[in-house]
Structure 1
Amino acid sequence: MVGRIQGLKRGWHERSKIEKVEFQSMAMWHAMPWVFLVSWGSVPLLVAVRHGPLPLALGCSLLLTAVLQCVHVNRTMRRSLDHFLKRAQPPRRDLAVSLALMVTTLGLVVALQAVRGVEAEMLTLATMFAVMPYGQSLAFAVPIRTFFIRFAVIGAATVAAFAAIGVHDGRLVGTAVVITLGTLVSLLSSRCGAWTLAVMWEADRAREVEARLAVAEERLRFGRDLHDVMGRNLAVIALKSELAVQLARRGRPEAVDQMVEVQRIAQESQREVREVVRGYREADLAVELAGAQGVLEAAGIDCRVTGSSAGLSVPVQSALGWVVREATTNVLRHGDARRCDITLTITDERTSLAVENDGVPEAAPEGRKGSGLAGLRERLAAVDGTLDLTSGEGRFRLVAEVPLARPRQDERDPNESRQGDRHHQEEAERVTR
């Protein structure tokens, strides 16, 4: 039993926020018919029916059909909602059964109205309840105009039936009013929530599309940068190689100069490609911190970022930037956090990045951690960093520490790097000559 409860809790926390909203809405919609049965159906009916064979038989039959209405609408609700959210076909057979149960319930109400010894005024609430279950199912399955047309026909037929058994004047108006109220309550309580769910799912799909477009745009950017770097250089290499071949065939010494130039351009291309790939793979810590705060706040999580990445070396920023990415992903996917604090602390001895959030019910065993954390440890190991995880009392804390806070001495200025490359190129040309 305890294991099943823990499994349910784990399954609940693994749901996305919109899935939780849909689950809660479905629970409310399933409970509504039973609440109305108790308040509008059974209690007034028991008060209205006096002890007598025929009234009791009709009353028990009415109560039974009301219960069947509640059971059937609970079975139909999911299929009707799936149709509204464009996941399935309309449940026509279920709606037909729900309509038949409603007609039976209304017929029993009319029969009780015609029996002497029944307090007719108390049957008004039973009439209002009779249209509720069918109205809930129909509100998901058809357009609003069709919904009102059908219930206008149902209301007119019910009023005509009451008039046929001798009900006149204000009581007919009251019957029409309570049927109208029941129709509106079932429509507003079902359709408005379903429309909200549809908008939320549409926004969720839009976010997924936006993420895919961002990935595609990044791929295009990388391809464009690589083309800009390699396209011109490869064209020049091809032309100079062809020229060198022609000069070599003629025995001209300028062929060597052309091949030295080809070598220089190839080395320059190799360096430029490394720079493009480095810019693509490395993460800027300041950008990642701002992006994490924006994403978490957009998801309804209060996020506070403390500290600045100024003065950190590029490898350290890249490693910690990946820590921010993975931690943000874990907060969004695996928890139900309401607050997240990201703190960056830089001292003369080490740099520390702490990400702490609430909404985590229990710590997962170390053996069940995802591969993302293992990848972070590998990235941090490249800069002699460590990763520490703690969890308890509904909070999860991730701390990454790197021993160096300032740029390393072996990191050269790009201008110095280019000067060194020119020196090597001149040396290669001198040796070649």
Structure 2
Amino acid sequence: MTGWWKNRSSAGKVELYTRWSFYLFVALEIVSFGMVPVAAAAGKSSHTVPLLLFTLVCGHAALCGVLTSESLHWVVGRRERPVRLAVVTAVASGAATFIVLALEAAGKIPERGVTAMLLPAFTWFSAGALVLALRSVRKMRWVGPAAAAGTGLTALALGLPAGEALGYAVVVLLGSLFFIFTCGFSAWLLRTVYELDHSREVQARLAVAEERLRFGRDLHDVMGRNLAVIALKSELAIQLARRERPEAVEQMIEVQRIAQESQREVRDVVRGYRQADLAVELEGARGVLSAAGMDCRVDFRAGRGPELPAEVQSALGWVVREATTNILRHGDAHRCLIRLTAEETGSVTLLVENDGAPEAPAGPPGSGLAGLRERLAALDGTLQAGLVGDGRFRLRAEIPNRRPQELEVRA
């Protein structure tokens, strides 16, 4: 029942809250303002004008709701800006305001205070909806004064008293400015949240690309010189062989030696690339989780760290790296616990647990956990991962070891 909320990202939650807050404006306009003429006409013989006004309020509220929905889609970058719908809403709001003032001037309004209640319904909510379809603050600030001036001038043109027209204009101006500020700030906040979420994804992609470039540079540094020497010595051996010189054999022996040395250097580069230092990965996890806004506390003393074999540290370092990546990519974690324990029985256990995990996976399982299981299996280790309730995800890796020591890292 709560998956529709827990399975959303932080940006998605902010959008859902903002969207339904604006949808409540539709009900607020109908209930708070639309029922005013109906209530004022209670006990009277004619209900034509009150029903007309109620219909206008309902239609205007629905139109503003549709414009709000489309504008929010534009704010988060899903659709184009609803320019035509905004123009239709502005024209419809102006027409509804003119009808109310014309009925007031003709004496058709049941009660005198009904007009003062209906004008805000057609100006305040439309001003807020129109602001959502604007990006420039300079354009937003003219919506309220334009609505107030239009209302006041229309009232004067229809023959209403100047004091009454001024009062309508002031009410429209003050309420419109409040709705303009509220809606404009909400749109800016929603846009900023999505930009931050996108920036985090881009940052993760750039980190992967940077690592690939580093690996490529290392391979170029290792292979570039050796390949150039192999090419030169091969060319020299060809020339000597054509002249039937015995030195050609020595040059080819040298080419063979350089090729074997290159193979060894490439293996060293790949081995260093695939190995992960546990201490470095723990410090990296702390920095990344803190930068992501999570409750991150790390207690790791380099001088008193676990004395584990290099291959065990490398495997556990990869577990920390993969777990940190999954926490950032999936769910909406606020707290995380990383515990490393080397028991006297000879097993090393790494536990990574975080909250905010989605109840259902966002897509098909990736190769990250499968790769970790392969690494741990080479050391007779095991890996368990899954939900443990209350939105918590637990990843547990265990590797046999003979050196007992314990380290707890809270992140």
Fold conserved between structures, TM > 0.5:
yes
Match status 1:382 vs 2:378 = yes
Shift in Å, 1:47: 5.1
Q: How much does 1:193 deviate?
A: 1.1
Per-residue CA deviations over 1:290-325 (Å, capped at 9, x if unaligned) read: 222222233332134455655333322222122223
Q: Which amino acid aligns with 2:349?
A: S
Residue 26 in 1 paired to residue 23 in 2?
no
TM norm structure 1: 0.80
Distance in 2 (CA, whole Å) between partners of 1:344 and 1:71 is 57
- Residue matched to 2:310: 314
- In 1, the alpha carbon distance for the partners of 2:121 and 2:232 equals 87
Instruction: Tell whether 2:128 aligns with 1:132.
Output: no
Partners of 1:73 and 1:134 within 8 A in 2: yes
Name which of 330, 336, 341 aligns with 1:334: 330
- Which residue type is aligned with residue 89 of structure 1? E
2:205 is aligned with 1:208: no
Q: What is the aligned partner in structure 2 of residue 283 from structure 1?
A: 276
d(CA) in 1 for partners of 2:55, 2:117 = 16
Alignment match, 2:221: 228
Out of 103, 113, 119, the position equivalent to 2:104 is 113
Q: What is residue 407 of structure 2 aligned with on the other side?
A: none
The alpha-carbon deviation at position 179 of structure 1 amounts to: 0.7
After the TM superposition, which residues 344-383 of structure 1 pair with which residues of structure 2 at under 5 Å, given as runs? 344-347=340-343, 349-360=346-357, 362=359, 370-383=366-379
SS, match of residue 296 in structure 2: strand
Within the alignment, does 1:398 sit opposite 2:395 as a pair? yes
Match of 1:35 in 2: 28
Superposed displacement of residue 66, structure 1? 0.9
Q: What is the CA deviation profile of residues 217-268 of structure 1, one whole-angstrom value per residue up to 9, with x for unaligned ones?
A: 2222222211111111122223333444445555655444433333322222
Deviates more, 1:57-66 or 1:256-265: 256-265
Using the alignment, how far apart are the partners of 2:279 and 2:351 within structure 1? 15
Identity of aligned residues (%): 49
1:318-371 per-residue CA deviation (whole Å, 9 max, x = no partner) reads 22122223222332333332211111123451221101112347587xxx8554
- Kept after mapping to 2: 8 A contact 1:95/1:134: no
Letter in 1 for 2:308: L
1:209 counterpart SS class: helix
Matched, 1:303 2:299: no
Conserved 8 A contact 2:342-2:401: no
8 Å contact 1:128–1:181 — kept in the other structure? no
**Residue 233 of structure 1 contacts residue 265 of structure 1 at CA under 8 Å; is this kept in 2?**
yes
Contact 1:343 1:355 in 2 (8 A): yes
Please name the residue that 1:97 is paired with.
Answer: 88
Contact 1:47 1:122 in 2 (8 A): no
Distance in 2 (CA, whole Å) between partners of 1:13 and 1:325 is 24
Match of 1:413 in 2: none
Counterpart contact for 1:76–1:137, Cα < 8 Å:
yes
Matches within 5 A, 1:50-199: 51-54=43-46, 56-114=47-105, 115=107, 118-142=110-134, 143-149=136-142, 151-199=144-192
Q: For this pair of structures, how many residues does the alignment match?
A: 394
Cα distance in 1 for residues equivalent to 2:229 and 2:150:
87
Tell me how far apart the structure 2 counterparts of residues 163 and 17 of structure 1 sit (CA, whole Å).
50
Cα deviation 1:119-167 (Å, max 9, x = unaligned): 4235323211211332232112234444444553442232233334554
Q: Match of 1:259?
A: 252
Could you tell me which amino acid in structure 2 is paired with residue 378 of structure 1?
Answer: E
Consecutive unaligned residues of structure 1, counting only runs of 5 or more, are 407-433
Q: C-alpha distance in 1, partners of 2:118/2:359? A: 48
The superposition leaves residues 158-206 of structure 1 with CA deviations (integer Å, 9 ceiling, x where unpaired) of 2233334554354333211111123212212211111112222223333
More helix by share: 1
Q: Which moved more, 1:378-387 or 1:15-24?
A: 15-24
SS at match of 1:194: helix
> What is the CA-CA distance between 1:102 and the residue it aligns to?
1.7
Which runs of no fewer than 5 residues in structure 2 stay unpaired?
404-411
Match of 1:423 in 2: none
CA RMSD of aligned residues (A): 2.9
Amino acid across the alignment from 1:227: H
Q: TM-score, normalised by structure 2?
A: 0.84
Amino acid at match of 2:206: L
Q: Secondary structure of the residue that 2:353 maps to in structure 1?
A: strand
- CA distance in 2 between counterparts of 1:288 and 1:82 reads 39
2:161 partner SS: coil
Structure 1 counterpart of 2:79, which letter? Answer: A
Amino acid at match of 2:174: L
Q: Quick check: which has more Rg, 1 or 2?
A: 1
Deviations 1:64-110 (A, max 9, x none): 11111121222222222333445433323322332343234323432
Distance in 1, Cα, partners of 2:359 & 2:71: 36
What is the alpha-carbon distance in structure 2 between the residues aligned to residue 127 and residue 167 of structure 1? 14
